[in-house]
Each structure stands twice: as C-alpha cells, then as structure tokens.
Amino acid sequence: MKKLFLSWILLAILLLHCSATINLEDFLSRKEIKEVRVLESESIFDCILEVMIEQPLDHRNPEGETFSQRVYISHIDPTRPVVLITAGYDAKYYYTSEITAELKCNQVTVEHRYFGRSQPDDPYWHFLDTWQAASDHHRIVNIFKELYPGKWISTGISKGGQTVMYHSFYYPEDVDVRIPYVAPLNFAVEDERIYSFLDQVSSARDRRKVKRFQKMALKYQDRYLQAFRDFSDRNNYTYELAGGLEKAYEYCVLEYSFAFWQWGYVPVKKIPGRVARPREVIEHMNRVAGFDYFDDCFIIEHRPFFYQALTEMGYYGYDLDEFGKYLQHVDIPIFTFTIPEDVEISFNAELSVEVQQYLSEEANNFIYIYGEYDTWSATAVTCTGETNSRIFIKEEGSHRTRINNLPDEQKQEVYYTLQQFLQ
C-alpha cells in the first residue's frame, strides 16, 4: 500500500468522487485536521485517507498542550454505518475490518495515544490513562458524526477490545454497537485467574507435555543458553531491561505456556523433547513465545502498553510452584522492569470492578468474541447479566479468533445479532 502526500488542490481533485451529498474536502479542512495523506489501495472504498487530528493532551484542560493523533478514514457513503476501530496500539499497518467488509460501510481507525505517530513531545505518563484515551475517541466520534450521522459500531482486538469496553464505560452514548475481540478484563497486575486457566485448559495430557517442555528447558538451560545467545545475536535482541540474557531466557521459558495456548501456532505433538538439538529447541520456543517480547527495543517501543497494564488494565505474571527449583535468575515474575525507573506506578484496582458492573448491568448491544483455548479467556467477560449483550466462544479457539473463522452457525448468529442491534 503506497502513501502519497498531496497538495490541497490535488487532494480536492481526487476526492471529488468520494461523496455526492457531503463535501469531504470541506470536512478535511477543519482546524483539528493537520495533515492528510491518500492511501492507494484496491478495496471496497472510494478512498482511504490517513489524517492527523490535533487532540488535547489533557482533556480536562482542552486549551493546554496538544498532540497529533493518527486516524484512517475509509470512505464509501456518508449514509452508511461506520465501523470505529480502536487500535489499542499503533496503527502503522492499515487493515479493513471483517465487519466493515460484511456491511460494506465506512471505517474510521484510531491509533491509541502514546503509540506510533500519536505521541506527545514529552512523555507525561499520568495523561496515559483509560479516561484520556476514551476522551480521544469520544472527541473523534463527535467530529466524524458531522460526516457520518448514521449508526456507529466500535470494535478492536485484544487491547483494542479492552479500549472498546473502556470507551463505552466512560461514554456509553457514543456508538450503537460494540464488538470487542478476545478482550480481557483483568483485576490485578498479576491476575491469578491465568494460573487456574493454565491448569485446566485442553486435556491433562496436553498440559503435561507443555509443562514437561518448560521443566526440561529450565533444568537443562546450560545446554540451551548458547543457542539462545546465538539466536538473539542473529536477530539483534538485547535483554538489559529484563536483567540480562540468562534472566531473559528464564522469562521466555516461563512465558511459553501462556503463549502456547494464547496463539495456538504449534500443535502439542510438535513440542520437541530431550533428543532435540539445542537450536531446534530454541527455534521452537521462539516460534511459540517470541523472544522479542523481552528484547530492549520491543519493551521501549511498548512501554505505553506496559504502563497501562500496570496502572489500570491489569496483566499477568508466572506461577512458579512447579518451576521454582529450576530457576537460577528470576525471582519476582511480574513486568515492573518494563517501566522507566523514574516513573512511579500504582494499580487502580477499583476501575475493573466498576467496568465489570457496568458491563453486566447497563452495557447493551455488546458482542464479545473469544477463543476457548486463548489464555486471555481466563479473564474474559463471562456474564452479560441484565443486558441484551452476547458472548460467542469458539471451541478450541485461540487469540486469533475472529468472526469469519467461527463455525458457520456461530458466524451467522453473530452477524444476525449485529443486524438486530443496528435496527
């Protein structure tokens, strides 16, 4: 997909066919919109634009410091619905939601504050909270409803799905339908429901194979460390923030079970045993867990995510009951090492409780999508309470669960429910 920066004259020419009833060019000349690019792509849309919108850094002080937030506008027809994608992270890779394609409607994708191109000049970490982010989305919805006055559907994947829930919690009237995918609702920095899930997922036989591999990789780590070092060197991975290469290795082994069930990339029968060569073991472990997760560059790039997880959104750690005797370096297996030393953090335990109460008592027109084997389903929304919302769980599904890979009957029911909510 190519990006072209265009003059306003050329942009106006290209946008003439975008809408017969609303002048998109006039809309894009609003003072909040600071930059416009046209994306060239063969798609269902008349045009796809990347714009930068000026946002208050602190929505409680709208006249104060600002930052620019990246938004994609995928335009078909102002009379059609809009799918609002809350990215949760950066939005450097544009994509068309399966919901947008199904409805053949407009799409607005919003990059999360502090990610990608949507970063303030100075990292005022206390402005990175769920209310400020929801207020970004609230303001964008209000701006774009001038262009698209019809029905709105908000959706997002994983942290983007969490963002959908928080946006609705703070601004329940903004959209008509919400569809969070594989979105956890965590209650602690180390939500221990994860450990119960990993003790029950799939079959006892498969769980034993996963744990057996972890114990092997820890007990005989001296055998595998050189292959881990070689792999890391080839990929330019460094682990100073995690505490060094040896400690990062143990973190990667502990991460293995969470990632194995989360992603489902590798079948249990492909897990290597003692006879496997060290390089084979290391390449398998990276395929499952991804060593880049503990790489310094990854951590620095994703610090906004870790900050939110450790202050409001919650996260997980590692149960050491069966592995403690094999560990030589890891002692406190939580992710505080991802945060800069000069940044103070404390977790707001009340927020998730309030959100859960809202979701079970007030939040209508939600469609939750989960995978049965996805580790994040341990902290999924499990009860819609007094609302009309629906939960769909794909049997043996992973974190890659989407509407279009659900069984046909479930898929049809999801889209039928969506159409009912849009009436």
Residue 26 belongs to domain with CATH number: 3.40.50.1820
Contacting residues for 1 by C-beta, under 8 A, at least 6 apart? 39, 40, 41, 94
The pLDDT, as a whole number, for residue 21 is 39
List 71's β-bridge partners, or say none. Answer: 51, 110
Are 92 and 217 within one domain?
no
322 domain residue, yes or no = yes
The pLDDT, as a whole number, for residue 15 is 52
Instruction: Write the DSSP symbol of residue 105.
Output: -
Are 332 and 397 within one domain?
no
Other C-beta atoms within 10 Å of 104: how many? 12
Are 173 and 213 within one domain?
no
25: domain range? 2-187+350-422
154 SS3 class: strand
Are 145 and 197 within one domain?
no
How many Å apart are CA 214 and CA 224, to the nearest integer? 12
Helix (H) or strand (E) holding 281: helix 278-289
345 domain residue, yes or no = no
- Total-model pTM: 0.94
Q: Which residue is it, tokens 């965590």?
A: 186
In the structure encoding, which two tokens stand for residue 46, read together? 């008349």
Residue 321: closest CA among 211, 180, 397, 406: 211
320 SS3 class: coil
The pLDDT, as a whole number, for residue 30 is 84
Residue that terminates a domain, selected from 293, 310, 338: 338
Q: What is the dihedral of CA 74, 75, 78, 80, to 10 degrees?
A: -70
The pLDDT, as a whole number, for residue 18 is 52
How many Å apart are CA 157 and CA 183, to the nearest integer? 7
The pLDDT, as a whole number, for residue 12 is 53
Are 178 and 265 within one domain?
no
Are 167 and 216 within one domain?
no
Q: Which amino acid is at 316?
A: Y
The pLDDT, as a whole number, for residue 141 is 98
Residue that terminates a domain, selected from 316, 338, 360: 338
Are 108 and 213 within one domain?
no
Are 203 and 323 within one domain?
yes
239 domain residue, yes or no = yes
Backbone angles phi, psi at 181, to 5 degrees: -100, 135
What is the three-state SS of 342-394?
Answer: CCCCCCCHHHHHHHHHHHHHCCCCEEEEEECCCHHHHHECCCCCCCCCEEEEE
In the structure encoding, which two tokens stand for residue 169, read together? 């919690």
Longest Cα separation, the chain: 70
Are 163 and 307 within one domain?
no
108 domain residue, yes or no = yes
Are 313 and 403 within one domain?
no
The pLDDT, as a whole number, for residue 23 is 62
Q: How many helices (H) and strands (E) does the chain have?
A: 14, 10
Residue that terminates a domain, selected from 338, 366, 394: 338
Q: How far is CA 179 from CA 83, 163, 301, in A?
A: 10, 11, 27
Are 317 and 377 within one domain?
no
Q: Which residues of the chain have pLDDT under 70?
A: 1-23, 42
344 domain residue, yes or no = no
The pLDDT, as a whole number, for residue 338 is 97
Q: How many domains does the chain have?
A: 2
- Is the torsion defined by CA of 168, 169, 173, 176 positive or negative? positive
Are 134 and 182 within one domain?
yes
> pLDDT tens, 18-35?
544 346 777 888 889 988
